[in-house]
Amino acid sequence: MTAVEEVPLSAAGNPIGFGSMRRVEDARFVRGQGNYVDDVNLPGMLHSAILRSPHAHARIVSIDASAAEALPGVVAVITGKILEGIPRPSLLGDNFAWMPTLSYDTQAVLATDKVRFQGQEVAYVIAESRYIAKDALELIDVEYEILEPVMDAKRALDAGAPIIRDDKGQTDNSITDVHGNKTWESGNAESTAAAIAAAKADPNCVVVTQEIMYPRVHPAPMETCGSVSYLDKVTGQLTMYTTTQAPHAHRTVYAMVAGLPEQKIRIISPDIGGGFGNKVPVYPGYVLSVIGTIVTGKPVKWMEDRNENLVSTGFARDYHMTASIAATKEGKILAVDVDVLADHGAFNGVAQPTNYPAGFFNIFSGSYDYPDAHCKVTPVYTNKAPGGVAYACSFRITEAAYVIERVVDCLAQELQMDPADLRLKNLLRPEQFPYMSPTGWEYDSGEYEKTMRVAMDIAGYDELRREQAEKRAKGEYMGIGISFFTEGVGAGPRRDMDILGLGMADGIELRVHPTGKAQLRLSVQSQGQGHETTFAQIVAHELGIPPEDIEVLHGDTDNTPFGLGTYGSRSTPVSGAAASVVARKVRDRARIVAAAALECAPDDLDWELGRWYVKGDRERGKTIAEIALLSHSSLELPEGVEGHLDATAVYNPPNLTYPYGCYICVVDVDPGTGQVKIRRFIAVDDCGTRINPMIVEGQVHGGLADGVGMALMELIAFDTDGNNLGGSFMDYLLPTAVECPDWELGETVTPSPHHPIGAKGVGESATVGSPAAVVNAVIDALSPFGVRHADMPLTPANVWRAIQGNAIRVDMAVE
């Protein structure tokens, strides 16, 4: 279970267990033989396109689709009015114009009364080609009565603000959760307020308060969202090839939305061109492709374009946070309080698994030892696209990690302490684990100081500070930023977590064929994480058969057991555990078969990798392959043992796992232009046991690029009329190879004590942990100008304004 354990190699040179090996899936991808949704073409397939609202808030007066319907090649034009007329035999509303979201709200499939954000779905065209479908959109005449939009979350609850959700009879723009709450609190309000008040009154203490915004960004996977749906009217079978990170959850939702029998729905999520949380929700476009095949009787493809992806599908963040931190003047943190205004857009569409609807935000107390923490989150509707939980955020932990790491740096500046020293003074100590946080999280394991020291050693921290001092003396602005983050991933324990009432345990099935080769069927779904490789390695580790002898199947609900999918870094913590458990079941069954064949009791056998042998007589034994064949043979087995080695399992995690890490970023800032150049980035992650270190490092690299993008470039802003200003890759800037440095990685390995193989999950760690390191580095560089904080993205313009002491709202257009 440690990095130094010797792992034998297979004949193909792969580790029979954990270790770096080339990915199985690469063979098809490097040949251009991947199979993405847009690569699926069915006989007789029609194409489709969605007409979207140009306005953020407007009443629909009329829709005239006659010219579009008359265009040769157009098969059907569907509007909200038509959907209202289709009765739906389900408990979730009586017609198809509205659908449930994954957070107990409703969302329009096609707008009927009003449009509520720019880019909202208004009409749906089905045609013989994608070109004709797009042409037809131009011919649909919609008359709008433009209404004043609510674009600033800070004004959403003002008296007299326009009401967005009048469809629900709302009299304001507040969001009420399933328990009837309009604000969500966590931690101890009274003790935290008292600790902060006491610190304010104590001359030996300080309290620092800072407004910190995490602006709206977008996951922007390279492949946009889409689906190909086909309802066979004879058999009643609905087959849907779709870009989903959660095929089983989507099947259940479609059964609920469309009123179709669930056993007749097959969701195939083939190769997925990146997800990052963008492909968790159910979007109107998916539902429309189902309606399209119901209406036409033919397969219907819907693929959104890039603009549609950026303006209408699940965005991320949009958290306005005010954090207060109290500490002694020696730098001992006493309490943290965070007040959040959460912009959820026009429909509450977040997919998150807790009874606390801000996801896992209340893990914001971070990696430090202090007793009092409290947060309050107030969610509001605005005239923006719905979403909020996406972009590798681990259910809002990215906002949590950012706010604590930013405000700790503000405290360091106030105390004139080195931010590394301040962190080292407050980090949780190894003997405190399992550690119960002030907001109720039980961190499973960690050796935080060790990890931080490794990062500081790689960085050459003291030398960097010396260099910085020299440069400052010369008028050069170099910055060093640190972030130490703790995540809770692997949602989640069924007693605590669900999505739409569906618990988050994951099923798995392992079939061992008579020749000893195996098939592993997963409920989770890879969007690039390499499951076909790593899950085979887990089974190889448990059974001792080569990973190349294990075929991993996923992404087809007809061929895999139920589970809630891949997001929030949950595949390894939940399904990875299930893979280990099911392989151990097979191993236990193999022991019984081997005992029968060796004419001894199962207890007389010992295990070594790949075989059971008689205790004290190592030569007498049977390999898994031999036992597999025996399990299918006429060998007489003990009563109650039926033969075969196949097994299934469902893994209900006892707790989340808590990966963590320390990141250090070094930047150079040009004060004349405001340009930030990232010179170095050091990332030391502890994600417990590493199944395939090469893949772990690849996951970290990708997340670090996300952090650089969000810290410096990425932004979905709006003007006051409601226009989305980040609707193309010309406006929504993503980092390229020239903005990203040559990442310097390190590792520590502190296994999770409750996970069967000690693995913690790592997919989202770097996205969560890295933005604060970049921003802290830039602010560190700017501190000689008296800058304590500036909001992301730290574009040249925003950095320049910060230097001038003239920071402005980043999320709204400059008027």
Partner 1 sequence: MEVTITINGTPVTSEIEPRTLLVHFVRENAGLRGTHWGCDTSNCGTCVLWVDGSPVKSCTMLAAQADGHEVTTVEGLEQGGVLDPIQQGFMECHGLQCGFCTPGMMMTGRWLLDNNPNPSEAEIRDCISGQICRCTGYKNIVASIQWAAEHPATSEVTA
For partner 1, the binding residues (CB under 8 A) are 22-23, 25-34, 36, 38-39, 131, 219-224, 271-274, 276, 305-307, 527-530, 694-695, 697-706, 728-730, 734, 736-738, 740, 742-743
**Minimal distance, residue 284 CB to partner 1, in Å:** 21
**Minimal distance, residue 535 CB to partner 1, in Å:** 15
**Minimal distance, residue 148 CB to partner 1, in Å:** 31
Q: What percent of the residues of the chain are helix, what percent strand, and what percent coil, each to the nearest 5? A: 30, 25, 45
Q: How far is CA 30 from CA 48, 274, 562, in A?
A: 30, 16, 31
d(CA 34, CA 271): 6
**Minimal distance, residue 695 CB to partner 1, in Å:** 7
Of 47 and 251, which CB lies nearer to partner 1 in the complex structure?
47
Coil, strand or helix at 618: strand
**What are residue 404's phi and psi, to 5 degrees?**
-70, -40
Burial 774-810 (b: 16+ CB within 10 A, else e): bbbbbbbbbeeeebebbbbbbbeebbbbbbeeeeeeb
Coil, strand or helix at 685: strand
Of 31 and 233, which CB lies nearer to partner 1 in the complex structure?
31
> Token pair 């307020």 is at which residue?
193
Q: Minimal CA–CA distance to 681: which of 710, 659, 705, 713?
A: 705
**Minimal distance, residue 707 CB to partner 1, in Å:** 9
The two structure tokens encoding residue 426:
């407050």
**Minimal distance, residue 756 CB to partner 1, in Å:** 25
Q: Minimal CA–CA distance to 175: which of 186, 185, 184, 188?
A: 184
**What are residue 707's phi and psi, to 5 degrees?**
-65, -40
Residues comprising the chain, all counted: 815
d(CA 571, CA 568): 8
Residues 408/419, Cβ–Cβ less than 8 Å: yes
**Minimal distance, residue 276 CB to partner 1, in Å:** 7
**Minimal distance, residue 395 CB to partner 1, in Å:** 20
Of 210 and 699, which CB lies nearer to partner 1 in the complex structure?
699
CA atoms within 13 A on the CB side of 112: 17
Of 702 and 751, which CB lies nearer to partner 1 in the complex structure?
702
**Minimal distance, residue 7 CB to partner 1, in Å:** 18
Which H or E run contains 513?
A: none
**Minimal distance, residue 747 CB to partner 1, in Å:** 16
In this structure, the strands spanning 647-651 and 506-512 are: antiparallel
Of 658 and 743, which CB lies nearer to partner 1 in the complex structure?
743
Of 27 and 197, which CB lies nearer to partner 1 in the complex structure?
27
Of 34 and 503, which CB lies nearer to partner 1 in the complex structure?
34
The two structure tokens encoding residue 238:
């609905």
**Minimal distance, residue 534 CB to partner 1, in Å:** 12
Residues 272/279, Cβ–Cβ less than 8 Å: yes
Of 756 and 763, which CB lies nearer to partner 1 in the complex structure?
763
Of 281 and 707, which CB lies nearer to partner 1 in the complex structure?
707
**Minimal distance, residue 533 CB to partner 1, in Å:** 10
How many angstroms separate the first and last alpha carbons of the chain? 58
**What are residue 657's phi and psi, to 5 degrees?**
-100, 155
In this structure, the strands spanning 265-268 and 237-242 are: parallel
Of 25 and 686, which CB lies nearer to partner 1 in the complex structure?
25
**Minimal distance, residue 736 CB to partner 1, in Å:** 5
d(CA 335, CA 627): 59
d(CA 161, CA 135): 37
**Minimal distance, residue 443 CB to partner 1, in Å:** 27
Of 391 and 461, which CB lies nearer to partner 1 in the complex structure?
391
d(CA 440, CA 109): 38
Of 135 and 686, which CB lies nearer to partner 1 in the complex structure?
135
Coil, strand or helix at 512: strand
**Minimal distance, residue 16 CB to partner 1, in Å:** 20
The two structure tokens encoding residue 152:
């600033």
**Minimal distance, residue 233 CB to partner 1, in Å:** 27
Helix axes 531-543, 577-598, angle to 10 degrees: 30
Coil, strand or helix at 751: coil
d(CA 401, CA 487): 8
The two structure tokens encoding residue 432:
């405190």
Of 424 and 733, which CB lies nearer to partner 1 in the complex structure?
733
Of 719 and 744, which CB lies nearer to partner 1 in the complex structure?
744
d(CA 686, CA 573): 14
169 exposed, middle or buried (CB, 10 Å; 0-12, 13-18, 19+)? Answer: exposed
**Minimal distance, residue 806 CB to partner 1, in Å:** 31
Residues 207/415, Cβ–Cβ less than 8 Å: no
- What value, to the nearest 5°, has the Cα angle with vertex 642 and ends 639 and 647? 130
Of 224 and 483, which CB lies nearer to partner 1 in the complex structure?
224
Of 39 and 421, which CB lies nearer to partner 1 in the complex structure?
39
Q: Which amino acid is at 226?
A: G
The two structure tokens encoding residue 630:
């025996």
Of 223 and 444, which CB lies nearer to partner 1 in the complex structure?
223
Residues 713/776, Cβ–Cβ less than 8 Å: no
**Minimal distance, residue 398 CB to partner 1, in Å:** 16
Of 419 and 771, which CB lies nearer to partner 1 in the complex structure?
771
Residues 530/692, Cβ–Cβ less than 8 Å: yes
134 exposed, middle or buried (CB, 10 Å; 0-12, 13-18, 19+)? Answer: middle
Residues 333/325, Cβ–Cβ less than 8 Å: yes
